[in-house]
Amino acid sequence: MSKPSGSWLRQLGREAIRATTLGWELALPIFGGVLLGYFLDRQMGTDYTFTLGLMMLGVFAGFYNIWRFGQGVETQQRRLKARRKREQEEQQE
φ, ψ of residue 51 to 5 degrees: the values are -60, -50
pLDDT in tens, 7-34: 888 888 888 888 898 899 999 999 999 9
Residue 82 included in any domain: yes
Whether 53 is in a domain gets the answer yes
Tens digit of each residue's pLDDT (9 = 90 or more) over 45-88: 999 999 999 999 999 999 999 999 889 889 988 999 999 999 99
Task: Look up the pTM and report it.
Answer: 0.74
How far apart are alpha carbons 93 and 91 in whole angstroms?
5
The residue range of the domain holding 52 is 7-92
Among the listed residues 66, 69, 61, 68, the one whose alpha carbon sits nearest the alpha carbon of residue 34? 61
15, part of any domain: yes
| CB distance 65 to 32 below 8 Å | no
- Would residue 1 count as lying in a domain? no
- Asked if residues 65 and 28 have their Cβ atoms less than 8 Å apart, the reply is no
Total structural domains within the chain: 1
